[in-house]
Amino acid sequence: MTASQNDSYYLATAIGQRIRPQLNGAREADVCVIGAGYTGLSCALHLAKAGMKVVVLEAETAGFGASGRNGGQVITGQRVDQDELERRYGEAHARALWDLALEARSLVRTLIASNAIQCDERPGHFTAAVRDSHARDLESYVDFLGARYNYSTARYVPAAQVAEIVACHNYKGGMFDSASFHLHPLNYALGLARAADEAGVEILEHSPATKVERDRVETAQGCVSAKFVVYACNAYLGELNQTLARTIMPISNYVATTEPLGEARAKALIPSGAAIADTKFVLDYYRLTADGRLLFGGGESYGGRDLSNVRDIVRPHIERVFPQLKGVRVEHAWGGRLAITMPRLPHVGRLMPNTYFAQGYSGQGVAIATLVGKLLAEAIAGQAQRFDVYANLKIPELPGGALFRKPLLALALTWYALRDRLG
């Protein structure tokens, strides 16, 4: 057995699920998008609003992958901090990435408001330092963002004040950002799918693509002929395109929710109501749900292995952060895959003039994938300047070739996880 979406809290509280048809026969479209997660749905929605005929092929159901399973944290910025981006790519490129990250955050809020998406949007994010050196780094980073980017909504929280944010004694300080937020990720994805439906997009579910040619995408039951093709598969790409597979590593991540804790007990855990993520390489991330549960992500597995004992994986993480919850009932537990790249930045680009792709959000996908979907739509419509901010990052292939890529990277990631545990 492997971890599945079936025991997901998100599925149990989903709003607006609907049955969509399977591809049967031939279709023609301006654009065929493969994948109905944030990237594909945002791309399809923006293309349809620009007047294009769009068909989306989804192997399962809308929001099935990471878009419907993640921690629901919308964090300001890219997965890599701005000071590091400046060192890697220069100030001009780093600033362009920062501007796009701010737009990504705003775009999510705009789409939620304009499409009346019910997804429990709530403010605040706290990056919790697990070491003194991490706390010093975060304090410096807050100063850097303020001085260099005029960013004023992030503040440093010293160790003595952490209890005002979260009732955990393990943290040495942290960064609180009032402009970041959290939400119900599956309901957000389902809201995007509904908006795409209403804009005229044809979303065909249970229709996995089996072969892609220049202007034709095949499934077991039919095909779509299109002027443009977009790969928006991310960690669920499978064997569909080996060129794209060589730049991403699928990682299985695990999440659980407790029983409802009651208003007073829940607020005592996270008085600020913020989403929390710590600074370990294999991080813990958690938040309160709208109905007063603790939703907690912790633990990973590598190399394409999805483990089945999710409650046993996540519970020790919960009880280490919150000893006061020892023995609490875990009502939902599930797993799913995200995709990382070597530089922890998205891999975005063109395979051919009419074939586009985006993948590898490395844990920062809720906002960034939504924006990248919009940028794909812009590029297909002939305006590629903003798209090229990502496309020019030139993400390298993972080391080891087709045979050794996954085992080599799994070994490296396991070492970093061990370093977390050893302190």
Q: What is the pLDDT of residues 39-68, one digit of tens each?
A: 999 999 999 999 999 999 999 999 999 999
Q: How many domains does the chain contain in total?
A: 2
Domain end among 286, 313, 336: 336
Q: Which of 126, 109, 117, 108 is nearest to 273 (CA)?
A: 126
Segment 176-188 shows an average pLDDT of: 98
Residue 417 scores a pLDDT above 70: no
Whole-angstrom distance, CA of residue 38 vs CA of residue 55? 15
Q: Is the pLDDT of residue 412 over 90?
A: no
Read off the pLDDT band of 213 (50, 70, 90).
Answer: very high
Q: Is 356 helix (H, G, I), strand (E, B) or coil?
A: strand
Q: What is the pLDDT of residue 410?
A: 61
Last residue of one domain, picked from the residues 318, 336, 354: 336
Q: Is 42 exposed, middle or buried (0-12, 13-18, 19+ CB in 10 A)?
A: buried
* pLDDT tens for each residue of 323-366: 999 999 999 999 999 999 999 999 999 999 999 999 999 999 99
pLDDT of residue 1: 32
In a domain, 373, yes or no: yes
Helices (H), 282-364: 310-321
Q: Which of 296, 320, 336 is the last residue of a domain?
A: 336
Give the residue-averaged pLDDT of 146-162: 98
Q: Is the pLDDT of residue 423 over 90?
A: no
Q: How many residues does the chain have?
A: 423
Query: Which tens digit of pLDDT belongs to each residue from 365-399?
Result: 999 999 999 999 999 999 999 999 999 998 999 88
CATH number (domain holding residue 129): 3.30.9.10
Q: Find the domain containing 259 and state its range.
A: 120-183+253-336
175, β-bridge pairs? 127, 156
Q: Looking at the structure, do residues 351 and 245 belong to the same domain, yes or no? A: yes
* Mean pLDDT (whole number) for 146-169: 98
pTM of the model: 0.95
Q: Tens digits of per-residue pLDDT, 270-313?
A: 999 999 999 998 899 999 999 999 999 998 877 666 677 899 99
In a domain, 179, yes or no: yes
Beta strands in 114-221 (DSSP E): 122-128, 154-158, 173-182, 202-204, 209-213, 216-219
Q: Does 101 map to a domain?
A: no
- List all residues 6 or more positions away from 408 whose beta carbon is below 8 Å from its beta carbon: 398, 399, 400
Q: Which two tokens stand for residue 343?
A: 């530089």
The strand ranges marked E within 259-410 are 275-278, 285-288, 294-302, 330-340, 347-352, 355-359
Instruction: Check whether 401 has a pLDDT greater than 60.
Output: no
- Residue 411 pLDDT exceeds 80: no
pLDDT band at 76 (very low <50, low <70, confident <90, very high): very high
**CA nearest neighbour of 379 among 346, 355, 347, 345:** 355
Burial class (CB in 10 A: 0-12, 13-18, 19+), 26: exposed
Do 157 and 257 lie in one domain? The reply is yes
The answer on 158 and 57 residing in a single domain is no
CATH of the domain at 360: 3.50.50.60
> Has residue 86 been placed in a domain?
no
Longest pairwise C-alpha distance within the chain:
64
